[in-house]
Amino acid sequence: MCWKKQRQFRQAVEQYGANLTSSPAAYDTIRAHLTETGRKPTDYDLIATGDLGELGRDIVADFFHRDGVELPNLTDCGLLLYDRETQDVHCGGSGCGCSAAVLATLFLPGLVQGRWKRILFCGTGALLSPTSTQQGETIPGICHAVALEGPNT
């Protein structure tokens, strides 16, 4: 991550009062994808992250907003999977679990049925290790993006 983005993330952590490891990884991956493919956020019906939660999703949107880019179609699999009004989920669930469940039950059927034509699916997560956590080491965040297209695209 470039120094400018690291500084922005530190400011966001101070502002939001949370240590969100996957948000900058999601930002970097989505940004790189859009830059390398020449696509715009509006070329996708949805841009979905794994399980950043509401706060993490808002941080990613804020990073793009600071770059002058709006992501009106940004969502999060954890936010789609859980009902925060009736379920006490706090920080959500597993990024890979939320991603797999939403991909298999919502996104893929929706692409086949024509509900969406193109989705940028961005699996997010953190590389956790009990040893490194106990030693107080950093927790690297990761994100992989896959552009999914319906059969009639």
Mean local confidence (pLDDT), 55-78 = 93
Pairing of strands 46-49, 141-149: unpaired
Tell me what the pLDDT averaged over the chain comes to. Answer: 84
User: What does the alpha-carbon distance between residue 114 and residue 21 come to, in Å, rounded to a whole number?
Assistant: 34
Split at pLDDT 50, 70, 90, the class of 129 is confident
**19 pLDDT above the threshold of 60:** no
Choose between 55 and 148: higher pLDDT.
148
pLDDT in tens, 87-106: 766 555 666 788 999 999 99
Percent of the chain, pLDDT > 70?
80
Q: Which domains does the chain have, with CATH numbers?
A: 36-149 (3.40.47.40)
